Structure 1
Amino acid sequence: MSYKILKLDEFLCLDHSYLSVSDNCYYLREYTARAGYAHSPTNQLISNFKKPLNRKGKADWGYKDGAINEVANNFIEALNGLKFEDFTLVPIPPSKAKDHPEYDDRMSQAIRKLCEEYGGQMSELILCNESKQASHTIAEGEPRPNQFQIAQNLKLDENEIKNLRRNIILFDDVVTTGAHFKACKQIIMERLPNKQIVGLFLARTIRV
């Protein structure tokens, strides 16, 4: 099944408290919160895509590899026709720093496949200073970090800045509040105010 790019308009942004229509964010699918992996194909895909690294080598690990390929293919189909020479594709970083044993570069892997298909440019521009708890593992009702707390734990890779193109697409798997996107956009704009930034998410969170 092919998924088209859909805009988070002024009405949909009401579901994502940090976002406004001026943030230029888009999505492909809908993920139903707290419904379990069996609820929908998207929920199953996200569950497998986020499968923790401690499952590596176990019987179910192949589902993660398959999910990375499916995510890449979703983006490949959706972005057919994009002028890739005008964009740098940047993954929103995972919760763990690169030196942490649970560091998961799943989105980077998917974007690399996308770039291989179209000759695009990927940059791991944004890095975490310290490893934190992943937001999707925080219990319902427990406080989540806000945009500014997240931004304080992020930095730009100086080696990546010089090669960036004017337009940047920030990629993430699921957008819930939009705090991570806004934090990443914030630190880029503070340093590189002339960049044009767009968000693209595999799925947006809905609640039923």
Structure 2
Amino acid sequence: MRLSEIDDHNRGDHYYLTPQDECFYLLEYTSGRDFSFSQANQIISNLKKKPSERFIKGGYHYKAQVIRQASNTLREAIHPDWLQRSTLIPVPGSKCVGHLDYDDRMEQICRGIQDGLDVRNLVTQTVSTEAAHEAGINPRPTVEELIDLYQIDETLCDPAPTDIGVFDDVLTAGTHFKAMKTVLNRRFPGVRVSGFFIARRVFPTPLE
């Protein structure tokens, strides 16, 4: 599996992205369809299983399998020289440390890519919120709202990154990526910030 880049042909699917944003993805997740629709939908469904459901619903073990699979796939897809020189920063989940549903799946994926990589939780979320994919008819957080919720962990800033990869599971509107990029660029001016996603969100065609 190879990484594809967001470009002029598909950038319009992701409202907040501009030509200046460098983002890559592995799969296409179809919105409004369940896990049985495609391999990508099954992978994302397993990734998003809540920690609180571990002992309530069956199939939670699939989450660990998908995390390992994602790490292995990214190891093969990303150039090793970039991995060695860059800082990998997972997008924080919607729940803070200590919450029953705190989920460090993206950190696990980053750390599983290869031993010895520079993986840092440089950005944390200060308040637990509703997960964007569970918002339903409620408004999803804006870039500005996420910027207000995000905080740089100053204890992890030394040495300063020279190239940053922001890692998340699904690229939808690009809200979380833009908020992360803004916060990181304010703290580390001039440092390139790229986005890496397990999947990008697409919409079903009338026949699907």
The reply to whether TM is greater than 0.5 is yes
The 2-side partners of 1:85 and 1:190 are apart by 24
Query: 1:94 aligned to 2:86?
Result: no
1:132 aligned residue (129, 153, 158): 129
Match of 1:71 in 2: 70
SS of alignment partner, residue 113 of structure 1: helix
Supply the RMSD in Å over aligned alpha carbons.
Answer: 1.3
Residues 115, 121 of structure 1: 8 Å contact kept:
no
Amino acid at match of 1:130: V
TM-score normalised by the chain length of structure 2: 0.93
Q: Deviations over 1:31-78 (max 9, x none)?
A: 001110000011001000110112223542211111111111221121
Query: Is the partner of 1:204 in helix, strand or coil?
Result: strand
Distance in 1 between residues matched to 2:26 and 2:152, nearest whole Å? 27
Listed one character per residue, the Cα deviations across residues 111-170 of structure 1 (whole Å, up to 9, x for unaligned) are 111132xx321001110010000001111x431111001110000001111123200000
| C-alpha displacement of 1:100 | 1.4
Q: Is the 8 A contact 2:51 2:103 kept in 1?
A: yes
Aligned counterparts, 1:177-196, within 5 A: 177-196=173-192
Alpha-carbon separation, structure 2, partners of 1:205 and 1:120: 28
Aligned residues: 203
Amino acid at match of 1:165: P
- Between the aligned partners of 1:32 and 1:124, the Cα distance in structure 2 is 29
- Equivalence for 1:165: 161
1:48 partner letter: N
Paired position in structure 2 for 1:155:
151
Residues 34-73 of structure 1 mapped to structure 2, 5 A cutoff: 34-57=32-55, 59-73=58-72
Which SS does the other structure have where 2:80 is aligned? coil
Task: Name the TM-score, length of structure 1 as normaliser.
Answer: 0.93
How far apart are the structure 2 equivalents of 1:202 and 1:55? 22
Q: Distance in 2 between matches of 1:46 and 1:176?
A: 13
For the pair 1:120 / 2:117, whether they are aligned, the reply is yes
Instruction: State which drifts further: 80-89 or 186-195.
Output: 80-89
The answer to whether the Cα contact below 8 Å between 1:126 and 1:155 also exists between their aligned partners in 2 is: yes
Partner SS for 1:165: coil
Q: Which moved more, 1:21-30 or 1:56-65?
A: 56-65
CA distance in 1, matches of 2:183, 2:193: 12
The one-letter code matched in structure 1 to 2:130 is Q
Match of 2:172 in 1: 176
- Checking the alignment, whether the CA contact within 8 Å between 2:132 and 2:140 is kept in structure 1 is yes
User: By how many angstroms is 1:80 displaced?
Assistant: 4.4
Unaligned stretches of 5+ residues in structure 2:
none
Q: Aligned letter for 1:104?
A: D
Structure 1 moving runs of 4+ over 2 Å: 80-85
Q: CA deviation at 1:82?
A: 3.5
SS at match of 1:25: strand
In 2 relative to 1, CA 153–57 (structure 1 residues): closer, same or farther, beyond 3 Å? same
Q: Give unmatched runs, 5+ long, in structure 1.
A: none
1:10 aligns to what?
Answer: 8
